[in-house]
Structures are given as C-alpha cells and as structure tokens.
Structure 1
Amino acid sequence: MILVLDVGNTNIVIGIYDDNDLVSVWRLSTDSKRTADEYGIQVIELFKKNNLNPLDIKGAIISSVVPNIMYSLEHMIIKYFKVMPIVVGPGVKTGINVKYDNPREVGADRIVNAVAAHEIYKRAAIIIDFGTATTFCALTAKGNYLGGTICPGVQISSDALFERAAKLPRVELVKPKNIICKNTVTSIQAGIVYGYVGQVEYIINKMKEEMMECGEEEPFVVATGGLAKLINEESGSIDIIDPILTLTGLRIIYYKNREYVLK
C-alpha cells in the first residue's frame, strides 16, 4: 500500500492506495505549528480505526502548497512509516511538459491534477480545482501544461465580504432559489454563488477560445475540490466532477518515480 498526501492551505487530504484501489481517505486541518509526532499520532490513530496496518505502507508521496509544513510531514512519514516520501517538485517525473515562463512557479497541486487528467482522459482539458484558491489549468492533448488562472476561492470571497463590511453577516454557502432576493442573507448568497458561477463560465469560455485558436479540439472540463458540486449545480460548463483527481495524480506520479525511491 502507498500513502498519498495532498497538502492545501486549509486541509491535508490523505489517501491510502492498495495498488490502484483507493481504500481510505481522510482530511486533517493544515497547521504548520504541529510537530511530526502530533501528525504521526493523528494518522496512526486513523489507521487503527480503519483496521489498517502502518507496516503495510511501502511508499509515500506528498504534494504541498504550504512549504513550512513539509519538515513535520516528511519526518512524520519517515519516523512512523519507515519510508522516504517522494515530494512533488523539480526533478520528479510527471510526463507533463510545463510551458510556464518559470516552471518552478507552478503549484505542485496543479501539476498533479494535470497528470491525472492527462492519464485518465487523454485529451485537451481545462482543470478546475475549487480549493482555498480556485485554479484553472489548460492542458493540451499531448500533455503540454499551457498555464492558467488563479482566483480567490468561494469561501475567501465570502469571508472577505463579512470581514470588510461591518453590517453584513457571515452566511452559509448555499444557492438561493432566486437571484432577486428579499433579505440580506439570501442576497449575499446569491451574489457569491451566482457571481462565482458567472466567473467560472466566463473563464472556461475564454480558455476554450484560446486553446482552440492554438489548434486544440474543444477541451474537456474536469473539476475537483470541495465546492465543485455547488458551482456545477448552476453551471453547464463543467463536464465531470472528480473528487479524487489530485489523489489519483499522486498515485500515478508515485509509480512513475518508484524505481528511484527503491534504489
């Protein structure tokens, strides 16, 4: 079995793969102040509750957009699982050709998602990840990562409105029935949700135009992340939601690099 960790600004998603089968998924809060032992105790306890044996872990891989948490996580894996983790970054084989001005600037999570989309769908794709930030990535059929767009996430937008406008309340992120609303709470909900849907659809359409101008067929749109379902309920531009896209990408990258780890 292998251990895969997707480290985001808000959460760490942990997956356990038995060959190609995802057997468990857990979510922890991202906290760079926690030590390797604190994370180790948490993860080992999750193993016990799911009747999994830590000694069955033969490899591990981490994708992170939070650099200052990496020391704790890497040492947690080494100490509690006795394996050296692969860290997604420069020098790791992905099969993706990054066309960014500076490839080192591309977030590891974006590359991991691109790897999964390329392996699964084998066609031009737009990949949307609804996380703390929402990222849009353009990928050609040949696996060239062209670049993309980064926007404040839905929750960040909602929190900013609450924090900067004294009389506006914090609201739950749900879709109201109407766009013309009769009270402040639903008015805010409509503005955030429907406004975000409009943003998503506009960016998708513009990215499709630019990619097709470069000779690609109309891209397939795949979305992942916690709020993908909420946006997709109103948007007609997303072709599929894949909630484990990033974990799948981590599994694929692990096996592309396993030979180097086992040497």
Structure 2
Amino acid sequence: MLLAVDMGNTQTALGLFDGTELAHSWRMPTDRTFTADELHVRLLGYLRVYDLRLECIDAIAFAGVVPQLTSEWRAVAQRITQNVVAVGPQTADVVRVDAPHPAEVGADRIANAVAAEQFYGAPSIVVDFGTATNIDVVDDRGYYIGGAIAPGLRISMDALVARAARIASIPLDTPQHAIGRDTVEAVQSGAVLGTAAMVEGLVARIKDELGSPRARVIATGGLANVVADSTDVFDVIDQQLTLKGIAEIARRMRDR
C-alpha cells in the first residue's frame, strides 16, 4: 500500500492507498517541533485504529510546504521502505508545469494540478482552502500554468479578532443573509460570503483568460464545504484531491 503525506502549514493529511483507492485517511496538526520519532509514533497509532501494521506500507510519497518537517518525514519514511518519493525537483519529469520558475511552485499546488487533470480533465481550476486560499490553473493541454494566492479564511478571521478589540472569536458558519443583523452575522457575511465572492470573481477572470468558460472548478481543503455552501461556482468538492495527486505522482514515478 502507498502512504501519501500532505504537509500543510496548519494540518498534515495522511492517506493510505490500496492501488488507486484511498482506503483510509487521517489529519493531524502540523507541528514544526515534531521529530521523526514523534511522527513515527503518531503513524503507528493511526494504523492501529484499523488493525494495520507498518509492514502493509510498501511506498511513501509526500509533498510539503514546511521545510522543517520534510527531513523528519523523510527519516520516518526511510525506516519503513526504500520506496520514497518527495514531490519536487525529482518528480519534475512526470508532471506538466509551464511556469517561469517551476522550482518555486509549491508541491501541494503541483499535486492539486496533477489530480485535477487526471481525475477531472483539463482545463480545470482548483481552489484549495487551507492556510492560504490557493487557486491553481490547468490549461487545456493539461499543464499547470499558475494561479492566485490569497490569505486563508481562518488567517483573515484571526487577524480581525486580534486587531478589532470588540470582536471576539466567531465560528466560521455560513450566514443566511448577506446583510448581517448583528456582529456575528456581519462578520460571517464578510468572511464567508466575502471569500465566496472573491473566488467567484477570480474564477470568472481566470476562465476569461483561459478562453474556457466550461473549465471545471474543484474545491478542496479544510474549509471547502463552508464556502461551497455559499456559492454555486464549484463543479466538484474533493477533500482528498491533494492526497490523490501525491499518490498519482508516485505511481507515475514507479511506472516511468
């Protein structure tokens, strides 16, 4: 089985693939102080929930935007198997990237683009609601060509709470109305509906630039469902898109 690891700034997602099927998945906090030993123990615990052992893993692939943890995860992987793939320069031959500086493109964005093209076709637009809100664009050739990066929904809320003395922490729920009748509704409208409106506007502009009004729009990331309830801009919601992309890149490396 293949273990895919997506190291985000806030959360790390783990996915265990049996062939092309995602058999099990887990999420854990991304803690930059974790050592390889701590990560190893956590992985053992997740596997035991399903009566699985480390021996069931014959390949590990990971993508990360947290350099401090990349070497730790690599150390964990090398304890388990010699078949280890890190999305990045070593995988450049099996992905399609048409950008001025390919090495600067985040591994998670490459994984999203690969999964979008593989499973949903091209052209496509991925909106990943994580620490940042990333929009990744795949053109009609199946190439990742760029996109947009905006502050994430939770970061924006945290900044507002920190700077506005009279606004306490407010749950990120979808409001019923754009006109908030009290402070909670007003903040939810600005945050959630505002994010949805931003995505709608950027997606419309991207489709115009692509010349592809029917490009598929895929939502992923931890807050995708919250925003998706506020807009009809998405054709697909796939919370495991990044993991699928990491696994697909690993399969291409194996088969090349």
CA distance in 2, matches of 1:168, 1:220: 37
Q: Which residue of 2 aligns with 1:245?
A: 241
Aligned residue in 1 for 2:196: 197
Counterpart in the other structure of 1:20: 20
Selected match of 1:223 from 219, 222, 226? 219
1:65 and 2:44 equivalent?
no
Matched, 1:121 2:111: no
Deviation at residue 56 of structure 1 after TM alignment: 1.5
- What TM-score, normalized to structure 2? 0.96
Secondary structure of the corresponding residue to residue 218 of structure 1? coil
Task: Give the AA of the match of 2:4.
Answer: V
1:93, 1:253 within 8 Å by CA — same for their partners in 2? no
Change (3 A) 1:19 1:94: farther
* Structure 1 unaligned residues grouped into runs of 5+: none
Query: Counterparts of 1:134 and 1:66 in 2: how far apart (Å)?
Result: 17
Distance 1:122 1:21 in 2: 19
Q: Over residues 56-106 of structure 1, what are the superposed CA-to-partner deviations in whole Å (9 max), with x where a residue is unaligned?
A: 211100000111111111111222x23342100013146433222211111
Map of 1:143-182 to 2, 5 A cutoff? 143-182=142-181
- Find the aligned partners of 1:201 and 1:188 in 2 and give their Cα distance: 19
In the other structure, the counterpart of 1:91 is 90
- Cα distance change on mapping 1:244 and 1:94 into 2, 3 Å: farther
Contact 1:114 1:139 in 2 (8 A): yes
Identity of aligned residues (%): 36
Aligned positions, number = 256
CA distance in 1, matches of 2:116, 2:255: 23
The DSSP-based 3-state class of the residue aligned with 1:76 is helix
Give the counterpart letter for 1:67 in structure 2: P
> 1:259: Cα distance to partner?
5.3
Asked if structure 2 preserves the Cα contact closer than 8 Å seen for 1:138 and 1:147, the reply is: yes
SS in 1 for 2:90: coil
- C-alpha distance in 1 between matches for 2:167 and 2:121: 46
Other-structure match for 2:229: 233
Give me the whole-angstrom Cα distance separating, in 1, the residues matched to 2:89 and 2:53: 32
Contact persistence 2:161–2:169 (CA under 8 A): yes
Cα deviations by residue, 1:109-131 (Å, 9 ceiling, x for unpaired)? 01001111111122201111111
Which stretches in structure 2 are left out of the alignment for 5+ residues?
none
8 Å contact from structure 1 (residues 128, 137) kept in 2: yes
